[in-house]
Each structure stands twice: as C-alpha cells, then as structure tokens.
Amino acid sequence: MVAWEDNRGAVSLTDIYLQRVDAGGSVLWAQTGVAVCAADSNQASPALATDGANGAIVAWQDSRGGPAADIYAQRVNASGSAQWTANGVAVCTAADVQQNPAIISDGSGGAIVAWEDLRSGTYQLYASRVGGDGVVPTLLSLVDANAEAGHVALRWSSPASAGMIATLERRESANDWMPLAELTADAGGTIRYDDFAVRAGGRYGYRLGYSSGDGREFTAEVWIDLPGLSSLSLQGVRPNPIGRDAAVYFSLPDANPASLELIDMSGRRLFAREVGSLCVGNHVISLRNDVAKLPEGMYVLRLSQGHHSLVTKAIIVR
C-alpha cells in the first residue's frame, strides 16, 4: 500500500489518498486511489503501518481544527474501505502544533503513533496507541513493559493525579480477563507492577481498569511474549529481608533432578528439598516453615541441577 498527499480537490490544499499494488505492479483499487481523508483544510505527511489483516492504518497531520496541525488516523481494509469515522479519528488535538507522524504496528490489530509536539513551547516527542477499533481514550498510558523468562515488569503513567486507583487485569489468549491486583499511582503518578506468576514461553495480555466520569474505563491492551527457558534460573527470595514469611522464585529448563538448599554462613546445610519433580517452568515455593525457627542473620539459598548451581543471599530479621 502507498499513501500520498494529493491536491486534486484544491490547488493550495492537500488530502490523503491511498492505493494498493499487487506483486506484479497492478493497482487493485480505483485507478487514481481512494481518499483516506478529504476533510476541509490541509492534510499532509501520511505514514502507514499494517493492521495485520491485509489492511493498513494511516496517520497524518491535519489542520481541519485551525492553522495548527493535529494528528489523525484511519484504518482501511484490504478492499480500500475506511473502517473508522469518515475522514479519520483524532489521535491528538492538543494545543499548538502536532506534526510529522511516524507509525508502527502493535501486533494486535492496532498501531502506535508518534509525532513531534509543540504544546510545551519546544518540540518534544509524544505517542499514542490506536486500537483496532480506533483511539482508546484513557487517563492512563503505558510507559514500558519488559519481560524475561519468569518475570513481566509493567509501568503506566497517570497524569490525572497521584493516588489514582486501578485494577490490573491479565489474560492468556484463550481465556477471559481476570483481576490480578489493585494498584495505586505513586506521588509521581506512576503505576508499577511486577508479575512473577508467569511461565516461560507464555503470552499474556494486560490492561488497567479504572473509574472516570464516563463510568468504567480500560487502558489499551498490551501483550507480552515471554522468552522460553534456556537455562536454570534463580530469581531470589521475596520479601528479602525475610520476616515471618517468604517464598523462593526459580525456573527449571527441564525435568531433570534438581535441589534447593538453605545454607548458613559457616557452610552448614539447614535444609534440602528435591524440586526437579516440579518439571519445566517457573515455580514458587514457600519458605515459611523452613525459616520460622532460624535465628536472624544472613543465609545462602542454592539451586542445583546437574552440573549447574545458582546461589542468592537471604537475610532473616525478626
């Protein structure tokens, strides 16, 4: 697909047109393309991303709201038909200038749009996610999401206010959304969550639900693909220092025999537990009964499988 600026409607103003070309170089839609946006005023700088369904999402800068440009977007299917509101939906209409959009597929039928923004008096970079059904209005926006074999770290920004309460929901591809935790934005308006109850190689979706003036709202979904396990992993003890209760988090790459041991600083083994029977994946084992009668101090937790051993420190306080 190819998008361009087109002034066929007015010499001094441009609209956004789109065409689909097959592998042999033949155009598949109207010979002169289809209008993605022919709204009043000027539309320019189109950018394209696949929607994952043989269609595309187009973003552009748009001056229909006044001399200062905004950012708009439209989804077009494989036949060239617009899928959202005629002439597109607003991605950003903040004060002053928004221009030069860039776009990339989000892998879930939508896209992420970034642009130059002058609202603060100097150009900065802003971004928004466009869902498959259009822009998802939200008071919360995802800042980052990072994954490793047994851990997903998520962070959202809540510009509305510190102390905002939201419910984190999670699902796998074949399951419904399930509440996972109730979270509160910190003094800087940031909401964080570390999910250790995930399996290596799994795919998980996350979203936040929150209350607004329009009722219950949800952030756009974010999907995380966790890498598979290639080696033994010992994530550690949580909480650490250990009080009355604690658990150890670890991962096994195969079903071979493995052991978990707690050792004091003199090298004396205080307990050992066979864990290989838990098989491949991420595991959590409570240490509550094992540490209940141990004195305060520093200990070493060792995970062993075959010729490989990993250690981590554990501190007990009362």
Give me the chain's average pLDDT, please. Answer: 87
pLDDT reported for residue 161: 61
Q: In the structure, what pLDDT confidence band is assigned to residue 55 with cuts at 50, 70 and 90?
A: very high
The per-residue pLDDT for range 266-318, each reduced to its tens digit, is 899 998 999 988 878 788 988 888 888 888 899 999 999 988 899 999 898 87
pTM of structure:
0.48
pLDDT reported for residue 214: 60
Q: Give the mean model confidence (pLDDT) for residues 234-255.
A: 86
DSSP string, 153-197: EEEEE-TT-TT-EEEEEEEETTS--EEEEEEE--TTSEEEEEE--
pLDDT of 138 above 70: no
pLDDT reported for residue 62: 94
pLDDT of 65 above 70: yes
pLDDT reported for residue 311: 93
Which are the contacts of 174, defined by CB distance < 8 A and separation ≥ 6? Answer: none
Phi-psi region of 267 (alpha: psi -120 to 50; beta: other; left: phi over 0): left
What are the backbone angles phi and psi of residue 290, rounded to the nearest 5°? Answer: -75, -30
pLDDT reported for residue 197: 86
pLDDT reported for residue 159: 56
Say which range, 17-31, 46-60, 289-303, has the weakest mean pLDDT: 289-303
Two tokens at 135? 């822009």
Map tokens 């990072």 to a residue.
Answer: 146
pLDDT reported for residue 244: 75
Q: Give the mean model confidence (pLDDT) for residues 189-212.
A: 86
Q: In the structure, what pLDDT confidence band is assigned to residue 210 with cuts at 50, 70 and 90?
A: confident
Alpha-carbon distance of 262 to 243, in angstroms, equals 16
The per-residue pLDDT for range 141-192, each reduced to its tens digit, is 777 788 876 789 998 876 556 788 999 999 998 889 999 999 998 887 789 9
pLDDT of 136 above 70: no
**Residue 90: CA count within 13 A, CB half-sphere:** 10
pLDDT reported for residue 149: 64
pLDDT reported for residue 100: 96
pLDDT reported for residue 101: 97
Question: Which of 5-9, 20-24, 92-96 has the highest mean predicted lDDT (pLDDT)?
Answer: 20-24
pLDDT reported for residue 162: 72
pLDDT of 33 above 80: yes
pLDDT reported for residue 245: 79
Q: In the structure, what pLDDT confidence band is assigned to residue 139 with cuts at 50, 70 and 90?
A: low
**Residue 173: CA count within 13 A, CB half-sphere:** 5
Alpha-carbon distance of 299 to 244, in angstroms, equals 15
Alpha-carbon distance of 219 to 226, in angstroms, equals 21
Residue 119 β-bridge partners: none
Domains of the chain and any CATH numbers: 2-135 (no CATH), 141-225 (2.60.40.10), 233-316 (2.60.40.3080)
Q: Give the mean model confidence (pLDDT) for residues 3-30.
A: 92
